[in-house]
Every structure is written in structure tokens, then in C-alpha cells.
């Protein structure tokens, strides 16, 4: 038992550090130019297969970290470990042209275990946002943007980096049907953005380059509540709510602009640095689930985040409040079937409708998506492999708003073991 525990703890702290440092997902989205980049979906792959629901779900074999009150459902003597990667494809379209990009990378690593009966803990590391994009355009004599005064030029915009989230929390059953919990979250990361203009017709012209670097780090708390109402014949209803505390994070925003020539001359035009703290709001989540134990679950979540109250450096005028509706169902034909593997599979469907937090020229970006998932049980154990597929469409009606069709496929290994059970025989 000790060897297995040591191995998993090593993975928890070593592997995520590798992926955070070297494994940014290189899926190109021009919308990542703004704010904190593209915000990644929250939740395990079981949650994402059900449209991102989870505020009102309690499961002793999965960790629902979006509501820490759910940790109280972890079985005594059990141990949960979940490691997931996902593959993404983004198809950009502006009505006249298309561009595709894809990549595979780390998504999450989660760990859950009991302290006492009705008292559990969870910790993990997940991706919070992705700031990668790469845009380049060469303007020639036949292009609409060509000006004989400036001549031909190459325009390049690029971004890299992202924000990572580490959390640790606990949940306790305070009364028979009432649980409460809290997560301590650490956000940290760096975003780099560059804009460059190279004039190719005149070698005595100065080319222009401007760049921004944003570093962010800080702690905040998430609080969660769940009320479980058992019904007859193993039916149940669960209501849940969680709230994140808004927090002023330590940030460093640096911007520099300079010009340079083909002959090696470089002049700094402007340099500025801002070390003031940035306020990032917390989210309010409410949810409800209904189902029959080991048979089916239906759930919905409603999420509100007041992003307009944020004071994020470099994002003034680009932030809007968000509202999200998530729906999901899961069905298990016969969980304990001895002879039919297909009947033991967990089948999941979901949908989500979201206001993106990005605001361009007074118009808010919209998202609409559907998802599908499978839980594939392993032989003679409660462990499983979770698979999910999600299609999300980002779009807006403004002339500067292109359409993105984002396809995501994920796989995670969800291990469930009785690691703290005493042996009767040696």
C-alpha cells in the first residue's frame, strides 16, 4: 500500500510540473489574445461528458471539485486517483477562409481520500486558461489593405502561456442529509503576447514590435453546500450550491514597444510596468440532480460570474459578465452484470450554453456545445476509464467576430482502490 501511495503522490507533484512547464496546448484561437486567454472547462471527464454538470452530484468513485461538499461522499478506506489528457481541434472560419489547428496535452490530475466517515479530502491540478494563438498576414499590392506609402508588409500576432490551478479542500457531512466543504485554490501562470509589423518594400524603414507580459499568482477559497434527499426504491434528489470568493491577485504587467531596422538599429519607443493587484471574481454555481442509484442520473447547473468587476491589467473594455446553463444525463443498463460488458458501461450525454467573458466592440462572444461520454469499467474493480467528446461553437454576429468550431476528445484513468483497509491475514 505504501509503495502505491508513494508512486501516485510522485505523479501528483512531478508530472503536472512537467506539463505546466513544457506542455501548453498549441490549439490556435485568436480569441486567446484577450483577458486571460481561453478559459478551460472545469470538472473531471465524467462531468464534461454530462455537459459540465457536477454542482449537485455525489459519487464515491469520482471527484467533483467544483463543489467541495461532494468530498464527504468518499467511502471510508477508499482512495481515488484520476489522470486525464485531451486532444483538441479548432476550425476557424471568417466566411471566406478556414484554418485548422490541433494538439494533445495534459488536462487534470486529481486525488481523493477519506479522513473519517463522512469527512473526505480532495486535491489536484488542472489547466485554468490557455493563451496560445498565432496570426500572420502578408499584405501585397493586390490586397485591400495595401497602401503605396507603406508598401508591402507582414503583420504577425502571437501569444503563449497560460494559467494553472492547484486546489486542496475538504468536505464533511454535518447532518444526516447535509454536507459542506471548502477548497483552497492557487492560481499561477504567465501570458506573453507579441504584435509585429515588418515593412518589406523599404529597407530604410523602421519595423515595429510591441509585447505584453502578464504574470499572476494568488490564493482564493471556494465554498460548497449539498443537500441529499433519499427517496423510495433507491431514487434520490440532490441540491447543491458553491461560491468562489473574488480575490485580488498579485500581478505584474509589463508592456514594451520598440522599432528596429534591417541595419541593426533598435530604439525603445515605450516601456511601462504595473505591479498593482488585479481583481478576479469568483463564480456562483447552483445545481440540481435526480436519479436512481447505480442506474441513471440527470443534472443541471447554472453558473454566474461577474467578470465585468474584474480589474485585470491590459483587459479594460474586453470583459463581460457570464451566465452558463449545463445539462447532463447518465445511464447504466446493469452496473453489476456478470456476463455483458456493454451493460456495465456508463453512457453520458450533455449540452451547455454559455456567455463567453470576451466583449469586442460591445458584443459578447457566445458558446453552444454538446457532449457525449463513456465510463468503461475495469474487470473486478470499481476503477474505470472515462472517455468524452465535446463539440463547442464560438460565434458572434459582429464584423470582427469569426466562428470557431472546437472539437475535444479526452481520456482519463479513474482508479478506485481500498488502500486503507486492514488485512485479516498476513
pLDDT tens, residue by residue, 328-345: 999 999 988 888 899 999
Q: Name the β-bridge partners of 236.
A: 230, 291
Question: Given this model, what pLDDT does residue 36 score?
Answer: 93
Cell of 115: 479522513
Query: Which residues neighbour 229 within 8 Å (Cβ) at sequence distance 6 or greater?
Result: 177, 236, 237, 238, 239
Work out the average pLDDT over 321-332: 97
Question: Given this model, what pLDDT does residue 21 score?
Answer: 47
pLDDT in tens, 202-244: 666 777 888 999 999 999 999 999 999 999 999 999 999 999 9
Question: Given this model, what pLDDT does residue 144 score?
Answer: 75
Segment among 238-242, 396-400, 405-409 with least mean pLDDT:
396-400
**Whole-model pTM?**
0.88
Question: Given this model, what pLDDT does residue 152 score?
Answer: 80
The conformation of residue 422, written as its DSSP 8-state character, comes to P
Percent of the chain at pLDDT > 90 equals 60
Query: Which residues neighbour 232 within 8 Å (Cβ) at sequence distance 6 or greater?
Result: none
d(CA 281, CA 246): 4
d(CA 351, CA 390): 9
CB neighbourhood size of 129 (10 A): 20
pLDDT band at 402 (very low <50, low <70, confident <90, very high): confident
CB neighbourhood size of 109 (10 A): 22
Amino acid at each position: 500500500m505504501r509503495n502505491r501511495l508513494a508512486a501516485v503522490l510522485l505523479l501528483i507533484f512531478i508530472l503536472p510540473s512537467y506539463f505546466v512547464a513544457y506542455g501548453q496546448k498549441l490549439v490556435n484561437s485568436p480569441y486567446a489574445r484577450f483577458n486571460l486567454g481561453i478559459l478551460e472547462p472545469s470538472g473531471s471527464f465524467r462531468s464534461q461528458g454530462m455537459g459540465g454538470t457536477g454542482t449537485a452530484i455525489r459519487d464515491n468513485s469520482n471527484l467533483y471539485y467544483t463543489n467541495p461538499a461532494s468530498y464527504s461522499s468518499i467511502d471510508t478506506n477508499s482512495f481515488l486517483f484520476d489522470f486525464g489528457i485531451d486532444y483538441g481541434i479548432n476550425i476557424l472560419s471568417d466566411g471566406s477562409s478556414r484554418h485548422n489547428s490541433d494538439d494533445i496535452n495534459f488536462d487534470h490530475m486529481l486525488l481523493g481520500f477519506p479522513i473519517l466517515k463522512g469527512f473526505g479530502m480532495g486535491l489536484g491540478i488542472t489547466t485554468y486558461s490557455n493563451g496560445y494563438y498565432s496570426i500572420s498576414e502578408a499584405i501585397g499590392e493586390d490586397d485591400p489593405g495595401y497602401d503605396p506609402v507603406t508598401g508591402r508588409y507582414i503583420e504577425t500576432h502571437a501569444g503563449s502561456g497560460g494559467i494553472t490551478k492547484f486546489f486542496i479542500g475538504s468536505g464533511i457531512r454535518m447532518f444526516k442529509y447535509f454536507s459542506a466543504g471548502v477548497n483552497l485554490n492557487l492560481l499561477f501562470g504567465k501570458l506573453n503576447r507579441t504584435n509585429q509589423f515588418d515593412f518589406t518594400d523599404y529597407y530604410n524603414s523602421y519595423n515595429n514590435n510591441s509585447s505584453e507580459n502578464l504574470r499572476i499568482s494568488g490564493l482564493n477559497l471556494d465554498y460548497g453546500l449539498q443537500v441529499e434527499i433519499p427517496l423510495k426504491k433507491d431514487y434520490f434528489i440532490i441540491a447543491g450550491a458553491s461560491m468562489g470568493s473574488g480575490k485580488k491577485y498579485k500581478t505584474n504587467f509589463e508592456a514594451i514597444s520598440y522599432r528596429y531596422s534591417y541595419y541593426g538599429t533598435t530604439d525603445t519607443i515605450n516601456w511601462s510596468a504595473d505591479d498593482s493587484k488585479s481583481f478576479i471574481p469568483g463564480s456562483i454555481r447552483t445545481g440540481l440532480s435526480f436519479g436512481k442509484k447505480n442506474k441513471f442520473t440527470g443534472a443541471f447547473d447554472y453558473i454566474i460570474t461577474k467578470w465585468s468587476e474584474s480589474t485585470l491589467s491590459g483587459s479594460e473594455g474586453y470583459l463581460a459578465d457570464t451566465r452558463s446553463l449545463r445539462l447532463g444525463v447518465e445511464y447504466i443498463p446493469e452496473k453489476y452484470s456478470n456476463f455483458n460488458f456493454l451493460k456495465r458501461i456508463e453512457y453520458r450525454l450533455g449540452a451547455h450554453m454559455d456567455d463567453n467573458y470576451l466583449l469586442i466592440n460591445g458584443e459578447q462572444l457566445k458558446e453552444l456545445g454538446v457532449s457525449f461520454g463513456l465510463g468503461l469499467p475495469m474487470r473486478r474493480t470499481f476503477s474505470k476509464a472515462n472517455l468524452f467528446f465535446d463539440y463547442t461553437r464560438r460565434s458572434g454576429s459582429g464584423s470582427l467576430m469569426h466562428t470557431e468550431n472546437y472539437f475535444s476528445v479526452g481520456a482519463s484513468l479513474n482508479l478506485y482502490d481500498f488502500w486503507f483497509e486492514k488485512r485479516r491475514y498476513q
